[in-house]
Amino acid sequence: MKSVSDVAPFGILILITIFSISPQLLSDVNVYASDMNMSSSDQSMTTEDEMSADGTTRVEIDTSPAVPTSGQSLLVALSFTDSNGNKIQHQNYAITVTQGDVIVLDNQHGHTHTGNDIQTTDVLTSSSPVDIKVTLNGVGLPNTDPSTWTGPKGDVISFNVVPEFGSIAPIVLAIAVISIVVFTAKNRVIPKL
């Protein structure tokens, strides 16, 4: 015959198990959450912006989906604006995106006529954070001598897009508690039958 004190260790075991698998659980829940966002509105984007060291060029990135998602490419929309908020035309730049040790995008010859551009990574094989590095290579027409280009050159601007685990943690905790309650309840009922 089982008593509550007999099954209590199983509850603790479940708790430990759930927390040991929680990184996988967290990313699965997070992928689901980002899919939901995509179908509902534009809130699926993560927006970050940084200024060049000399303060002349503001680089903004919007990533879609909002978090790196295994099995999907990451779209990186870039915007280059000057200190007055005007788009910078004919901005030359390089962009590399890495996920851990894996280079998922490497374009050394980016050029935008309008100040807006979109770059796409390879299909990601994990949902880990990505590092995005944008190097400013000067402003000027593509088929002209780069030495005549103006503005910052060689200025590297870094972004980090991290999955947002913070809001998911309480859900995992709730699942853990419910699991223990259900498990304990089941094991109380069986001896009575």
Which residue number, 17 or 108, has a Cβ lying nearer to Cu ion? 108
Beta carbons within 8 Å of 140's beta carbon, 6+ residues apart: 90, 92, 146, 148, 149, 150
Which residue number, 136 or 176, has a Cβ lying nearer to Cu ion? 136
For residue 95, which of 62, 55, 136, 54 has the smallest C-alpha distance?
A: 136
* Residues contacting Cu ion: total by CB under 5 A: 2
Q: Tell me the C-alpha distance between 190 and 176, whole Å.
A: 22
Structure tokens at 158: 């870094």
In the bound complex, what is the minimum distance in angstroms from residue 36's beta carbon to Cu ion? 38
In the bound complex, what is the minimum distance in angstroms from residue 141's beta carbon to Cu ion? 6
Q: Tell me the C-alpha distance between 10 and 16, whole Å.
A: 10
- Residues 95-114 as x/- pattern, contact with Cu ion by CB under 5 A: ------------------x-
Residue of 34, 67, 90, 161 that binds Cu ion (CB under 5 A): 90
Tell me: does residue 188 bind Cu ion (CB under 5 A). no
Which residue number, 65 or 138, has a Cβ lying nearer to Cu ion? 138
In the bound complex, what is the minimum distance in angstroms from residue 78's beta carbon to Cu ion? 14
In the bound complex, what is the minimum distance in angstroms from residue 151's beta carbon to Cu ion? 13
In the bound complex, what is the minimum distance in angstroms from residue 149's beta carbon to Cu ion? 11
Tell me: does residue 137 bind Cu ion (CB under 5 A). no
Q: Tell me the C-alpha distance between 18 and 20, whole Å.
A: 5
Counting every residue written for the chain, the total comes to 193
For residue 49, which of 23, 80, 12 has the smallest C-alpha distance?
A: 80
Which residue number, 90 or 161, has a Cβ lying nearer to Cu ion? 90
Structure tokens at 121: 């990574």
Query: 42: which strand partners?
Result: none
In the bound complex, what is the minimum distance in angstroms from residue 93's beta carbon to Cu ion? 11
Q: Is 124 exposed, middle or buried (0-12, 13-18, 19+ CB in 10 A)?
A: buried
Residues in touch with Cu ion (CB under 5 A): 90, 113
